[in-house]
């Protein structure tokens, strides 16, 4: 739902430069859309040979420079924010038997601001990112169980990826129990998860009481995926799911039920990917409206469609052509809410920059009230070296002035629903299994929708383009 009351700038500073990382329920795709990896929870085939303790370490350094990414130059918002982010992860897998293990992963992140008038230095806190126990092939059956703090990722990450959106790319975890089992031609996951506004479950060193999400959340869900029968090739892969999420504060509660499916159809050197979901449920009354505003019944739709194709195998040249639609609320309907709820899909699915431009409307990475076609081209001229370019032509579905106009008040209709055009360029390099880096640049040029938004917000001047530049280097053993 629409969270209009949380600390805008604090969330922005906390979540800057977010990015996906692999999760054990699947692997998050890279920034490029050409070659995403899709899977439900799977067992490492080498696990049966493992015993004892397996430690690991990763270090990531990010240099980030931004301009106008929150409010496109609007008054009372920071314009330029430059920072250095250092993240260190240390973990250990303890194998009790070849089919039972536990993982403890500790996370430390420090943020140093080189330019930000309203940002505070963060010396960092040491927290537990993953802590779980899992068992494979229980009682000799195709059944697995994982309990504890873990990462979940399904499909392309439209709905399940990041349980801690306000801490950016520091963590993605959820506190969950995950049961996975196989039946003929199907793999099925059943999960129950809980996310809390702040860390309340596990100890933290130098606790800075960071917000992880705006409100407490709890989820239960079922995610299934068709599997090949007796090694036969499959004409398509179908992934149906049903997810129930409740968001809870002291004096209100929201509920959203999401029923959907994802379909993948391979066709030689190309494939089609599509996902569609419908949401029902209810929102809490909006007490900020004059005289109060009644609770609403949710009726929202969201979907994606992509064509991935390889043009030249030796050059690693390929492209993705896609379309994304995520519903927006019609503020003139009574008792009905049509805005898409991204559930745990609040991460940079399509842009690192634009997740912050969404902050004044509904929250950081709160993908809602948006539609766009996209085109992405990727090339790998040398082994380990990848360049991709992406453009999104972005539109709003409904006029929504966000936090600028109190709920329930009238406003003028915009002359244009065009949000603007977004351009992204990324150069990545991987040197073996231990060293990697990338250079990312994004630019957003606002359209007529933001001219209208500025008028409603009483801002002077015109919206300005936004820029996002990031250099990253990471090392792991």
Domain edges within the chain: 8-476
Look at the block and give the residue holding tokens 């990041």: 162
Confidence at residue 11, expressed as pLDDT on a 0 to 100 scale: 39
Confidence at residue 240, expressed as pLDDT on a 0 to 100 scale: 97
* Closest CA relative to residue 338, chosen from 370, 306, 364, 365: 370
Phi, psi of 474 (to 5 degrees): -135, 150
Handedness of CA 111, 112, 115, 117 (dihedral sign): positive
CA 137 to CA 135: how far, in whole Å?
Answer: 7
Mean pLDDT of each 10-residue bin along the chain, 477 residues long: 35 37 32 30 51 92 93 72 92 93 95 73 84 93 95 96 91 95 93 92 85 92 88 85 90 90 94 97 67 76 97 92 95 86 96 93 93 97 94 92 62 82 97 94 94 74 91 95
Confidence at residue 409, expressed as pLDDT on a 0 to 100 scale: 60
Task: Provide DSSP, 16-55.
Answer: TT-----BTTB----S-SSS----SS---GGGGG--EEEE
Task: Enter the CATH code of domain 8-476.
Answer: 2.40.160.100
For the entire predicted model, the pTM comes to 0.86
Note whether 20 and 161 are within 8 A (CB): yes
Confidence at residue 201, expressed as pLDDT on a 0 to 100 scale: 87
Confidence at residue 141, expressed as pLDDT on a 0 to 100 scale: 92
């Amino acid at each position: 739902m629409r969270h209009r009351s949380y600390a805008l700038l604090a969330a922005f500073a906390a979540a800057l430069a977010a990015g996906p990382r692999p999760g054990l329920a699947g692997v998050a795709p890279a920034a490029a859309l050409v070659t995403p990896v899709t899977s439900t929870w799977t067992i490492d085939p080498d696990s049966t040979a493992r015993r004892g303790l397996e430690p690991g370490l990763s270090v990531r350094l990010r240099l980030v420079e931004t301009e106008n990414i929150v409010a496109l130059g609007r008054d009372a918002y920071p314009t330029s924010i430059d920072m250095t982010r250092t993240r260190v992860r240390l973990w250990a897998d303890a194998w009790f038997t070849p089919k039972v293990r536990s993982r403890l992963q500790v996370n430390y992140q420090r943020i140093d601001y080189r330019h930000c008038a309203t940002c505070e230095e963060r010396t960092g806190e040491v927290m537990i990112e993953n802590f779980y126990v899992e068992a494979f092939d229980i009682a000799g059956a195709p059944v697995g169980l994982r309990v504890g703090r873990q990462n979940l990722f399904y499909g392309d990450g439209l709905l399940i990826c990041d349980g801690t959106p306000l801490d950016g790319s520091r963590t993605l975890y959820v506190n969950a129990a995950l049961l996975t089992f196989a039946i003929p031609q199907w793999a099925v996951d059943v999960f129950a998860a809980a996310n809390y506004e702040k860390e309340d479950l596990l100890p933290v060193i130098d606790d800075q009481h960071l917000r992880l999400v705006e409100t407490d959340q709890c989820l239960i869900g079922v995610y299934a995926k068709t599997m090949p029968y007796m090694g036969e090739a499959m004409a398509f892969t179908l992934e149906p799911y049903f997810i129930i999420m409740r968001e809870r504060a002291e004096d209100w509660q929201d509920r959203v039920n999401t029923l959907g499916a994802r379909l993948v159809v391979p066709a030689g050197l190309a494939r089609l990917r599509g996902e569609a979901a419908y949401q029902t449920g209810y929102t809490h009354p909006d007490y900020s409206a004059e005289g109060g505003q009644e609770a609403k019944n949710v009726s929202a739709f969201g979907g994606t469609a992509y064509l991935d194709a390889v043009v030249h195998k030796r050059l690693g040249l390929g492209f993705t052509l896609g379309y994304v639609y995520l519903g927006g609320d019609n503020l003139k309907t009574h008792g009905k809410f049509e805005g898409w709820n991204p559930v745990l899909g609040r991460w940079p699915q399509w842009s690192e920059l634009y997740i912050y431009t969404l902050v004044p409307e509904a929250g950081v990475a709160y993908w809602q009230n948006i539609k766009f076609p996209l085109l992405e081209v990727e090339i790998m001229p040398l082994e380990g070296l990848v360049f991709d370019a992406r453009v999104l032509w972005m539109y709003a579905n409904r006029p929504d002035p966000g936090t600028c106009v109190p709920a329930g008040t009238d406003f003028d209709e915009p002359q244009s629903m065009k949000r603007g055009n977004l351009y992204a360029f990324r150069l990545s390099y991987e040197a073996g299994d231990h060293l990697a880096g990338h250079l990312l640049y994004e630019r957003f040029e606002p359209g007529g929708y933001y001219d209208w938004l500025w008028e409603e917000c009483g801002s002077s001047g015109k919206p300005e383009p936004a820029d996002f530049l990031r250099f990253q280097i990471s090392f792991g053993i």
